[in-house]
Structure 1
C-alpha cells in the first residue's frame, strides 16, 4: 500500500487552487493545512479542502506535525523568503512554484540554500508535463536527427489579475521574461541538453495594462518580445511571446528542426477561455515532418477531460504532483531541481537585461551569479 502523503499549502490564490484541485485527484494524498492571507482566496481554498485546517502563518504550516511536504504557490517575490523561513523550522520536502527567485541580488544566496537544504525541493515547471509537450520531448531527437534549431512561440491572453495586482510590476514579478518565460527557458535546456552561452532579446510593453493605475503607478510589465539563445552544443533557440493574442487557435507552438526532419507540437490555451460559439476547444497535436521521404503526419494527443477541468495547464499540474509524490515515496527522482529552477530564472534575468540594454549577454548563467543582471 502506498504511503499516504499530507500537504501543507502556502498560497491559495489562482494557481494554488489549481494545485488543490489536482491534489484531490491523487490517491493516498491529502491536504492537512493551508495558509492564505487574502480572505477571499482563503475562503475559496477552504471550500476546496474542507478537511484542512486554516493556519495563520507559514511557520504554523511548516511546524504542523501532520504535514509531510509543502507546496509554495504564493506571489513570486516571496518564494525565496518563504524557503528560508521553512528551512529555519524543519527541512520538509517542497514543491515550489516558479520562479524560484525574482531579485538578482539573491542569486548567490539561492545557490547556497540549494547546497545546504536537507530535503528534496522540486521547482514547479508545469510545461514539461503537458502531454503534447512531453510527447514532443520524447520524439524530438529521433525525429530531427539532432536538434539544431528550436522555436517556442506563445501567443496568449494578457496577465490575469492577481491579489494586490502583484504581477503588474517588474519589482514583484521579476519581469515578464522571469515570471512568464522561465518555463520556456527550462524547456530549452531540457530539450537541447545543453547550457546557454549567449542571450539576445528585444521586448516591450505595447498594448496591455497601459491604462491601469495602482497607487498612482502604471504597470511596467512587458507584453511581447523575442529572445534568441545560443547554446554550448551549437544549437540555437528562439522564444516569441505575445500576450495580446488571445484569439489564437493554439497558445503554444513548439518546433525543432535537424538534419533528419522537423517535429512540432501545438497546445491550446485554457478551455475556459475558448469561445463557446466555436464548438469544442482544439485538441493538442504533434506533427512530424521527415525530410526524406517527405510526408508529414499528425497525431492528436487528447488530454483527460477531468484534468482539463482541474486547471489551465493541459493536465500538467496533475502529472507533476504524481511524479513529485512518487519521488517522496522513493519511486523516482526529483525531476526539476533547484539548479534547474535557478538556471531558468538566470536566463530570464539575462533576457530582461539584454532587452533593456540592447546588447547580447554572454555567459548568462555567470552573469546572473555575479549579480550583473541586476
Structure 2
C-alpha cells in the first residue's frame, strides 16, 4: 500500500486541470509526471502541479518510476489507444475519463484490453458523485416505492472551446449523446438497477456552432435532443438535453416517480458562470413529494466551498478521486465504475446517436447497435 499516491497524468486540458486541482486537495497524493502536448495547456498545468515533470509521450511517462497510478484525461478518441499502450508496457491502476471509447470499431480492442489488464480500471463518471445526486440515489427507492419513471434534464451552456476543437466533431467526440450524455446513461443504469433494451432519440443542431468553421469544416455535433430508454424491468427513462439554456437557475434536474411518490434533485451549474449581480449561487437540494399524505419536503445539500471551487461538477471530481485513491491503496477492493459500466454508457450514447440520425429505435438486447422500426 503506497503511503503517498503518485499520479501520472495524460492530458491536461480543461478537464485534466480540474483533476489536478482536486488531486491537490487530497491528503498524501501528488502528481509527479504529466504528458500534455499543447504548450498552453501544459503551462497552465505546471501552475497547478508545480512539482510535476513534463514528458513528451505516453511512453516517456511510463518510464518514470515514481508513479503509482495513471489518469487519462486526453481527448475522447485517444483513450483506447493510450490504455492499450499502458497495458503493453506498464499496467497499473487507471482512472479513465469518460467516454471510454467513441466508435463501435473500438469494441474489439477494448475487449482485448479488458480480458488481459491485471490492474483496477475506474471509468470517470463524475455525475454519480455530485452530492445531491448521491443523496438522490440513496433515497430514491424509499421515496418512490420503486422507480417507474426517471427523467434527467440538463439545461446548460454550449460546449466550451477545447484544443483543436475536437469536441465540435462527431468523429473525435463520439457525438453529443456520447461525449456529454454518457454520464446520464450511466446514471440511468445505476438508478434503475436494470439494463436498457431499447433507445429512441431525436436531436438537432439549432443554435450553436452554426457560424464556426475549422479548416473549412462546420461542426456536426448536436446541441439539443431527447432520448427515451426502455429497461428490462419495465421502467423507462428520458433525457432532455439543451445546450443553449445557460440562463437556467439549475443545470441538472433529476426526477424519479413511483407508486408511492416522487423525488427530485436540483444541481446548479458551475459557480464561475453565476452572475454576481444575482447574489449567491443556488444551493443544490432534493425535494421529496409523497403521494399520501401530500406535502413536499426540501432538503438542502450544500457542498464544501473549497471542493466546489476546484471544478465545474458540483464537487464530484474530488469525491471520485477519494474512491479511486482508496482502490490504489488497496483499502477499497473494486472501482465503483467498471469497464463494463463505461462500455454500456457509451453503447447507449451511440445508440442514441444512431436513432437520432435514422429516425428508428435501436435495440440494445444483443448489445449490438441494430436498428428496429419504432
TM-score after normalising by structure 1: 0.97
- Retained in 1: the 8 A contact 2:80–2:109? no
Instruction: Indicate the SS of the match to 1:78.
Output: helix
- CA deviations over 1:251-295 (Å, ceiling 9, x no partner): 000000000100000000000001111011000010000001111
Find the counterpart in structure 1 of residue 78 from structure 2.
Answer: 78
Cα–Cα, structure 1 residues 235 and 3, in superposed 2: closer, same or farther, change >3 Å? same
Determine the C-alpha separation between the residues in 1 that align with 2:63 and 2:295: 59
Find the counterpart in structure 1 of residue 255 from structure 2.
Answer: 255
Determine the C-alpha separation between the residues in 1 that align with 2:365 and 2:200: 10
- CA deviations over 1:87-111 (Å, ceiling 9, x no partner): 1111111100000001211123212
Please report how far the alpha carbon of residue 2 of structure 1 lies from its aligned counterpart in structure 2 after TM superposition: 7.1
Find the counterpart in structure 2 of residue 36 from structure 1.
Answer: 36
Determine the C-alpha separation between the residues in 1 that align with 2:362 and 2:85: 33
Find the counterpart in structure 2 of residue 94 from structure 1.
Answer: 94
- CA deviations over 1:283-339 (Å, ceiling 9, x no partner): 001000000111110011001100111100010000000000011122222100000
Instruction: Indicate the SS of the match to 2:80.
Output: helix
Instruction: Indicate the SS of the match to 1:203.
Output: strand
Cα–Cα, structure 1 residues 365 and 321, in superposed 2: closer, same or farther, change >3 Å? farther
Aligned length: 371
Cα–Cα, structure 1 residues 212 and 365, in superposed 2: closer, same or farther, change >3 Å? farther
Find the counterpart in structure 1 of residue 346 from structure 2.
Answer: 345
- CA deviations over 1:192-220 (Å, ceiling 9, x no partner): 01000000000011110000010000000
Q: Is 1:114 paired with 2:77?
A: no
Find the counterpart in structure 1 of residue 280 from structure 2.
Answer: 280
Instruction: Indicate the SS of the match to 1:147.
Output: coil
Q: Is 1:157 paired with 2:148?
A: no
Find the counterpart in structure 1 of residue 127 from structure 2.
Answer: 127
Please report how far the alpha carbon of residue 56 of structure 1 lies from its aligned counterpart in structure 2 after TM superposition: 1.2
Determine the C-alpha separation between the residues in 1 that align with 2:349 and 2:218: 22
- Retained in 2: the 8 A contact 1:149–1:235? yes
Determine the C-alpha separation between the residues in 2 that align with 1:20 and 1:212: 30
- Retained in 2: the 8 A contact 1:145–1:259? yes
Find the counterpart in structure 1 of residue 191 from structure 2.
Answer: 191
- Retained in 2: the 8 A contact 1:346–1:364? no
Instruction: Indicate the SS of the match to 1:88.
Output: helix
Find the counterpart in structure 2 of residue 301 from structure 1.
Answer: 301
Find the counterpart in structure 2 of residue 239 from structure 1.
Answer: 239
Find the counterpart in structure 2 of residue 268 from structure 1.
Answer: 268
Instruction: Indicate the SS of the match to 1:367.
Output: coil
Please report how far the alpha carbon of residue 364 of structure 1 lies from its aligned counterpart in structure 2 after TM superposition: 5.7
Determine the C-alpha separation between the residues in 2 that align with 1:63 and 1:220: 39
Please report how far the alpha carbon of residue 240 of structure 1 lies from its aligned counterpart in structure 2 after TM superposition: 0.2
- Retained in 1: the 8 A contact 2:362–2:371? no
Counting only pairs closer than 5 Å after superposition, residues 206-217 of structure 1 correspond to structure 2 as 206-217=206-217
Runs of 4+ in 1 over 3 A off after TM superposition: none
Determine the C-alpha separation between the residues in 1 that align with 2:2 and 2:212: 50
Please report how far the alpha carbon of residue 365 of structure 1 lies from its aligned counterpart in structure 2 after TM superposition: 5.8
Determine the C-alpha separation between the residues in 2 that align with 1:197 and 1:131: 29
Determine the C-alpha separation between the residues in 1 that align with 2:367 and 2:341: 15
Find the counterpart in structure 2 of residue 17 from structure 1.
Answer: 17
- CA deviations over 1:94-146 (Å, ceiling 9, x no partner): 10000000121112321221121111110000000000000000000010010
Determine the C-alpha separation between the residues in 2 that align with 1:221 and 1:101: 17
Determine the C-alpha separation between the residues in 1 that align with 2:163 and 2:180: 17
- Retained in 2: the 8 A contact 1:71–1:96? yes
- CA deviations over 1:18-46 (Å, ceiling 9, x no partner): 00000000001111100100000001101
Determine the C-alpha separation between the residues in 1 that align with 2:309 and 2:73: 19
- Retained in 1: the 8 A contact 2:98–2:342? yes
Find the counterpart in structure 2 of residue 64 from structure 1.
Answer: 64
- Retained in 2: the 8 A contact 1:156–1:248? yes
Find the counterpart in structure 1 of residue 363 from structure 2.
Answer: 362
